[in-house]
């Protein structure tokens, strides 16, 4: 069995997002968490595989080494082309990691040129004249300028990437993209001949991204956000009809939430308002040694098995600040992740077969606790939020792993209660 395309995502929920994009393009797609080992098995018949790393904000050397290991594994499974997926807001610093990781992947592949486009039009991310927009604002005018780890204070992608690589970076502008696939291909070749190694392409629509995808099918490495991945995916003829994974109807359904984002708090409120059973975990009590897990499981055992349940640590900003002041930010997060990971393992043992997890870090903690290393990507409940199916452990267990801010406010109710 041979992969058509491999992908390396620089964070966990970015991996889910790009895997959903490949699947929308009709490719049977697997998602692997963390650097795979030689023995990591790929579900049968996959066209695409995404390796989700945590390399966005780690030290450059580590990010490069992990990405190269992932690329080698993808090649060993037959991938002729590798896509490097980073954030649609180009989250990085002058040290990297986008530039150094792309250069290392290109060197290993012997690639002379690559094309980048972080546009994601459905999320309001567009690139025009090499400037990245978030809806109607330049990236540098958007709230991303205050990002805690990667404050984005410049919107000019050629300049941003030039600071992260010793190679030449140049723009492929929208007028060329509009002229179509052959024009883009010719422009990439012309750039390469004039010594450019990184080509930044404009894109305003999914149609533009489809043109870029079709024009870059032969490049060993292409980079950007989920939008260009979908463009590339459409350019690959799928092996067969899209996979028809279905949600298990047996067993129970649960949500575990650790995200404190505004959207997750709304989703929790809607679940509660729908009269469905929900339980808030007392993180401070757990820190003083109370058996919060035992109490939560006793509560779970009392609930109507036909209804989905919600167990959450998620807190309002005031409550979060109070917990963090008492325990410290890192210690509080570690405790919450440990609690939710342990609970996930118990719930699955007690027969949960559909598990929705809210929060990027939280999702990482839950898959690690469950020993799930790879999933097959199924249908999306909302944009970028697919059901996935465990393949190595707990075979067929349905997992929905969502970044805090993803999904409509009624996602929890719709994804679980209405599938009963």
Q: Which of the ranges 1-9, 198-206, 220-228, 331-339 carries the binding residues for ligand ADP, by CB under 6 A? A: 331-339
Both tokens assigned to 122: 């459905």
Does 14 help bind ligand ADP (rule: CB under 6 A)? no
Q: Is the CB of 223 or the CB of 260 nearer to ligand ADP?
A: 260
- State yes or no: residue 57 binds ligand ADP (CB under 6 A): no
CB of 187 to ligand ADP, least distance (A): 38
Q: Does the protein bind ligand ADP through residue 118 (CB under 6 A)?
A: no
Q: Does residue number 260 form part of the binding site for ligand ADP (CB under 6 A)?
A: yes
> Nearest to ligand ADP by Cβ — which residue?
404
Q: 243 vs 283, which CB is nearer to ligand ADP?
A: 283
Identified binder of ligand ADP from the candidate list 52, 315, 381, 399, rule CB under 6 A: 315
Is residue 320 involved in binding ligand ADP (CB under 6 A)?
Answer: yes
Query: Please, which of residues 263-292 interact with ligand ADP by CB under 6 A?
Result: 283
Under rule CB under 6 A, residue 99 binds ligand ADP: no
As a whole number of angstroms, the distance between CA 2 and CA 351 comes to: 35
CA–CA dist 2, 27 (Å, integer)? 13
- Compute the distance between CA of residue 151 and CA of residue 26 in angstroms, rounded to an integer: 35
359 binds ligand ADP, rule: CB under 6 A: yes
Residue placing its CB nearer to ligand ADP in the complex, 153 or 316? 316
- The Cα 376–Cα 120 span in angstroms is 23
Q: Should residue 400 be labelled a site residue for ligand ADP when binding is judged by CB under 6 A?
A: no
Nearer to ligand ADP, 278 or 362 (CB): 362
Q: Is 323 in the site for ligand ADP (CB under 6 A)?
A: yes
Site string for ligand ADP, 146-185 (x = CB under 6 A): ----------------------------------------
Q: Is 17 in the site for ligand ADP (CB under 6 A)?
A: no
> Are 401 and 386 contacting, i.e. CB atoms less than 8 angstroms apart?
no
> Does residue 401 bind ligand ADP (CB under 6 A)?
no
Using CB under 6 A, list all residues that contact ligand ADP: 258-261, 283, 313-315, 320, 323-324, 332-333, 336-337, 359-362, 403-404
């Amino acid at each position: 069995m041979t992969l058509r395309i491999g992908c390396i995502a620089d964070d966990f929920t970015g991996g889910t997002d790009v895997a959903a994009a490949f699947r929308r393009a009709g490719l049977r797609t697997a998602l692997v968490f963390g650097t795979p080992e030689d023995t990591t098995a790929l579900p049968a018949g996959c066209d695409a595989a995404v390796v989700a790393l945590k390399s966005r904000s780690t030290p450059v050397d580590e990010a490069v080494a992990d990405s190269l290991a992932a690329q080698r594994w993808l090649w060993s499974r037959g991938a002729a082309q590798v896509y490097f997926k980073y954030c649609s807001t180009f989250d990085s610093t002058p040290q990297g990691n986008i530039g150094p990781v792309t250069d290392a992947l290109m060197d290993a592949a012997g690639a002379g040129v690559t094309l980048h486009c972080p546009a994601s039009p459905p999320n309001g991310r567009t690139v025009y004249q090499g400037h990245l927009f978030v809806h109607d604002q330049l990236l540098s005018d958007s709230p991303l300028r205050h990002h805690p780890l990667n404050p984005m204070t410049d919107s000019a992608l050629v300049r941003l990437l030039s600071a992260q690589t010793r190679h030449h970076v140049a723009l492929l502008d929208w007028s060329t993209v509009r002229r179509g696939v052959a024009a883009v291909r010719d422009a990439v070749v012309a750039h390469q001949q004039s010594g450019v190694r990184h080509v930044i392409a404009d894109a305003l629509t999914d149609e533009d991204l489809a043109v870029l995808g079709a024009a870059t099918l032969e490049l060993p490495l292409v980079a950007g956000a989920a939008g260009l991945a979908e463009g590339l995916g459409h350019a690959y003829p799928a092996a067969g009809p899209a996979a028809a994974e279905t949600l298990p109807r047996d067993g129970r359904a649960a949500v575990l939430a650790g995200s404190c984002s505004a959207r997750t708090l709304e989703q929790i409120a809607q679940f509660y308002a729908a009269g469905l059973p929900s339980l808030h975990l007392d993180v401070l009590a757990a820190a003083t040694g109370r058996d919060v897990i035992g109490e939560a499981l006793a509560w779970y055992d009392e609930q109507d098995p036909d209804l989905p349940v919600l167990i959450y640590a998620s807190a309002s900003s005031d409550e979060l600040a109070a917990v963090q002041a008492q325990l410290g930010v890192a210690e509080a997060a570690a405790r919450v992740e440990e609690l939710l990971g342990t609970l996930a393992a118990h719930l699955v043992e007690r027969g949960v077969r559909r598990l929705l997890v809210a929060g990027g870090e939280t999702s990482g903690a839950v898959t690690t606790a469950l020993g799930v290393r790879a999933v097959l990507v199924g249908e999306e409940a909302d944009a970028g939020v697919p059901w996935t199916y465990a393949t190595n452990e707990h075979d067929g267990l349905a997992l929905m792993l969502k970044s805090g801010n993803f999904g409509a406010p009624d996602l929890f109710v719709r994804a679980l209660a209405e599938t009963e």
